[in-house]
Amino acid sequence: MKSIKAVSHAIFFMFILSLSARCCGQEDLDIAPIEKAEQEALYSTIQGFVGNSWNGSDLYPDPCGWTPIQGVSCDLFNGFWYVTVLNIGPVHDNSLSCAQDLEFRPQLFELKHLKSLSFFNCFQSQNRFPAIIPSGNWEKLASSLESLEFRSNPGLIGNIPSDFGVLENLQSLVLLENGVTGEIPSSIGNLMKLKKLVLAGNYLNGRIPDVFDGMNELLIFDLSSNSLSGSLPSTLGSLTSALKLDVSHNHLEGNLLNEFANLKNLTLMDLRNNKFSGGLTLSLQEMHSLEELVVSNNPLGGDIRALKWENLKNLAILELSNMGLTGEIPESVSELKRLRFLGLSDNNLTGNLSPKLETLPCLNALYLSGNNITGEINFSKEFLEKMGRRFGAWNNPNLCYQVGVISTNHVPYGVKPCQRGVNLLESNSKTELINEDMNETFHFIASTGFSSCATNGFWWTLMEEILVMGLFLILI
């Protein structure tokens, strides 16, 4: 019995000892010091962005411990705290607010373990307080920096530094909606570990450099809303891991790339509002993962039937408006069972409107206006009710709907009713009578005992002419 009590006491003592060790370890972790040079570099860096009135040593004497700074994160290296994340700008209510006249101080590059650096809504005035991204010292962050982002900074001007190319471990480079100008530096091609490249919403010009052949880890490629020109570089076909490719709203021209066929993982391609020509390349039909394909507002031209649309089984959005496309809407489009949006407006499409489009189970927007589509709309009442104003077919002069079949509440906007009578048309300065459905008239004549084929003899011919004229007068 005594031995059992002794063992119990020993176990209890070991438990208390281990608990004390854990608590002491946690205490050591909380009171781990920040290296003095690191702390001074952090304070000076922040002062450059938020103003000299900010006194970090008074407000945040322990910036990585008990008094952390919003937007600053730290990690332990060899028993000392070092800054790993620095976010400047009003991301949260208690985030550091940027000064009007701010600067990049060289102490920024002394934060030798910095992994993530971002600026949001900080540089506001191009005229009064413009700022330029420094072009030197980035090599000091080459081994640590993984993410570099500038978002919504209209006062940030100048060129993208070519020195960014030394950031060998960079995985995310984002310059979104700033005032940056100039050309995209070819040194971007050195960033082999890059997963996100977003340079959208700036004033970049010149050609897209042909330097992407080694960037096979890239997932997001977005150069939209700039002033880029020239043709697409063929090395875009090397972005075999890419999920998104967006070069919309530029001045790009030339043919679409045959190398697009290599982008087997791409889910979104946005090429709209450029000057591409040469028709729809067959490489598009090899991109089986595509969910969104937007090529509208390009003078591309060509026949829409050139592609095997049934290959793109995952398409949810297909926007091909204002491209000068010709031909009939291919019935293979009706095999895209995930399609939600189909935009084909302002082209030169012809032929009848296939009722098979109604069989698309997910379709909730169909825009076909501004074409030369002919014939009757044969969609059901239920389909038209579901679509409502999201079915656009105006400016198709020879497209009509059946009166009595389609409710007046669901008549497609801008589409006229089908005429069953005789229309008057001017041709060669003469007025001609044209019966839109002469077969019905002939059947009516036959049913009254006057064969449409038995026209031998003057009286039979005269009787037929009188009957036809009578029908015409009744119809008008």
pLDDT, averaged per 10 consecutive residues of the chain (476 residues), comes to 48 45 42 89 95 90 92 94 95 83 94 97 87 95 98 96 97 98 98 98 98 97 98 98 98 98 98 98 97 98 97 98 98 97 98 95 97 94 91 96 80 88 41 34 32 36 40 39
Residue 142's region, left for phi above 0, alpha for psi from -120 to 50, else beta, is alpha
Long-range interactions of 337-343: CB distance < 8 A, separation 24+: 337/313, 337/361, 337/362, 338/291, 338/313, 338/314, 338/362, 339/315, 339/363, 340/316, 340/364, 340/365, 341/316, 341/317, 341/365, 342/318, 342/366, 342/367, 343/296, 343/318, 343/319, 343/367
Domains in the chain, please, with CATH?
A: 83-417 (3.80.10.10), 422-475 (no CATH)
Q: What is the pLDDT of residue 446?
A: 31
pTM of the model: 0.82
Place of tokens 């009188």: 466
Q: How far is it, in rounded angstroms, from Cα 77 to Cα 466?
A: 105
Tell which residue, 245, 247, 250, 332, has the closest CA to residue 285. 332
Residue 396 makes CB contacts below 8 A (sequence gap 6+) with 368, 369, 370, 371, 372, 373, 374, 415
Per-residue model confidence (pLDDT) at position 94: 75
The residue whose two tokens read 């391609």 is 269
CA distance 129 to 231: 36
Q: What is the pLDDT of residue 31?
A: 61
At 446, the amino acid letter reads A
Residue 88 CA to residue 80 CA, distance in Å, equals: 23
Reported as type and span, the H/E element at residue 34 is none
Measured between alpha carbons, how far is 330 from 265 in angstroms, rounded to an integer? Answer: 25
Q: What is the CA radius of gyration of the chain?
A: 35
CB 136 within 8 A of CB 108: no
Classify burial at 74, counting beta carbons within 10 Å of its beta carbon; exposed 0-12, middle 13-18, buried 19 or more. Answer: buried
Query: Contact at 8 Å (CB) between 289 and 265?
Result: yes
**Which pLDDT score is estimated for 273?**
98
